Chains A and B, each alone.
Chain A
Amino acid sequence: MSDIFPKWTNQLPLMAGVAGAVLGLTAVAGITYFVTPKYTRVGYQPKQPVAFSHAIHADQLGMDCRYCHDDVDKSWFSNIPSSSTCMNCHSQVKKDSDKLQLVRDSYASGKPIPWVQIHKVPDYVYFNHSVHVNRGISCVHCHGEIQKMEEVYHAESLSMSFCLECHREPEKFIRPNELVTKLDWKNEGFDGKKAVHDWKVQPGQSCSTCHR
């Protein structure tokens, strides 16, 4: 028999075992690491048609998010501002800048600027901005430190477990309602537990809260 199967083949089962185990574990590790919104979504930073910087407008100028995203505390949807909002200032500030050519064209023609949408929940998920931002939940938990971004990128996974982490323990995240748009606020002695109790904050955890 030794003519057909050379001696090393005796170790074939062992080799196959080692190789199988290593490759299997690598595949599992790879999938847990890569096939999740924490990898697929986080970091998405599309090129925007206008080089708009939140670092200039929100941080350096100290503008409130709601000056531009003015529907965020009124409806489920947080709007992207129209070009007339930009022109309130840019009719005078940097009014000849090349970077603002598209804004001026859009203002003149009424055709919207084709901003690329970054954050989006699947269509089967019901989401609502106003219920969050009127109840002391800040933009920073779901969008990251926007005020430091030259270009916006997707900072959080926005997966179901991400939503539930907070819905189970809102006291860890809640803050006084007037500070919702102060993204760099640090909690110094604000009692989240008490606020959740006093304001009767009850984020639902049943499926129909978000799938309706």
Chain B
Amino acid sequence: MRKFLVYFFSFWALTVVVGLSVLGLRGSTSRKPPLEVFPDMDHQPKLRPQTVTKFAGFADGLSSRLPVAGTISRDSAWELNSFNTGKTEDGGWVDAMPVPVTHELVKRGRERYDIYCTPCHGAAGDGNGVTTQFGMAAVAKLHDERLIKMSDGEIFNTITLGKNLMGPYGEKLDPKDRWAVISYVRALQLSRLGKKEEIPDAVQANLK
């Protein structure tokens, strides 16, 4: 019996050690795709976005389809009005934004600005965002007189399509969000233009 126990447990311990060293512990990283124990109906023949499809009709293999040439999606901002383009009917820039500026809009604008514009233009619009330390050059300072005087429509166009060295943000910001961002940019600009007298009395007292 003794002999049996010795042999048996040696064998057992060896199996466990070999097993653990082959399988590893939970959470250890692995390059291999997860093992599927029962793949049930995990993979159904349906299209998921941004994957490759073998469907013969889609020769390029993209599951996220681009619009057919010459068409637009119904829920896109297709209508050529000043809200969607920043332009007036005769092709000039819209001077002031075509949406009412509310507290909500500016708040939304601030959130979107912080996400999409701060990396380059900086939190306060000084053109000193973090990327400028890594070689991003020529970032505009949003407090420039030229940009303060610029019409809302032209800034709208810059956000939608980009300008010179700045990439387009129309895909990431729908028209409403673009106007919201502009309202916040205007608020940033105003914050530097105010006069001392305009500061409420309660705050004046704290100024040095």
Residue in A11, A40, A123 whose CB lies within 8 Å of B36:
A40
Residues of chain A contacted by B1 (CB below 8 angstroms): 8, 11, 14-15
Q: How far is the CB of A71 from chain B (nearest CB, A)?
A: 9
Interface string of A1-41 (1 = CB under 8 A from B): 00000001001001100110011001000100111011111
Complex Cα distance A170/B43, Å? 30
CA distance A67 to B113 in the complex (A): 10
Task: Give complex CA distance A44, B23 in Å.
Answer: 13
Q: How far is the CA of A127 from the CA of B23 in the complex (A)?
A: 30
A18 with B8: in contact, given A40-B36, A43-B29, A77-B49 (CB under 8 Å)? yes
Interface range on chain A (Cβ under 8 Å from partner):
35 or more
**Which of A23, A39, A40, A79 sits near B12, CB closer than 8 Å?**
A23
A131 shortest CB reach to chain B, Å: 17
Interface string of A92-133 (1 = CB under 8 A from B): 111100000000000000001000010000111000000000
Q: A45-B30, A94-B134, A122-B40 are in contact. Are A66 and B23 (CB under 8 A)?
A: no
Q: Chain A residues near B115 (CB, 8 Å)? A: 64, 66-67
Q: In this complex, what residue of A is CB-closest to B45?
A: A123
User: Is A87 interfacial (CB-CB < 8 Å)?
Assistant: yes
Q: Is A70 an interface residue (CB 8 A)?
A: yes
Closest to A10 in B: B1
Is there a chain A Cβ closer than 8 Å to B91's Cβ?
no
B134 touches A123 (CB 8 A): no
Interface 1/0 per residue, B108-144 and A, CB below 8 Å: 0001001110011000000000110011110000000
Please give me the residue from chain B that is nearest to A61 by CB atom: B130
Residue of A with least CB distance to B119: A63
The complex places the Cα of A87 from the Cα of B130 at a distance, in Å, of 16
- Residue ID in chain B nearest A29 by CB atoms: B16
B114 and A154 form a contact (CB under 8 A): no
Q: Does B172 contact A (CB under 8 A)?
A: yes
How far is A41 from B29 in the complex, measured between Cα atoms in Å?
A: 9
- A residues within 8 A CB of B165? 91-92
Q: Return B76 CB to nearest CB of chain A, in Å.
A: 14
Which one of A92, A122, A178 lies within 8 Å of B42 (CB-CB)? A122
A89–B34 alpha-carbon span in the complex (Å): 34
A-B contact pairs, 23 of them (CB 8 A): A8-B1, A18-B8, A33-B26, A35-B37, A38-B27, A39-B23, A40-B37, A42-B27, A44-B29, A45-B30, A45-B31, A46-B33, A47-B31, A63-B119, A67-B119, A79-B49, A89-B120, A89-B131, A91-B165, A93-B134, A122-B41, A122-B43, A153-B29
Since A62-B119, A88-B167 are in contact, a sample of 9 more A-B pairs with Cβ atoms closer than 8 Å, ordered by chain A residue number, is A14-B1, A30-B19, A41-B34, A42-B27, A46-B31, A61-B119, A63-B119, A79-B50, A93-B134
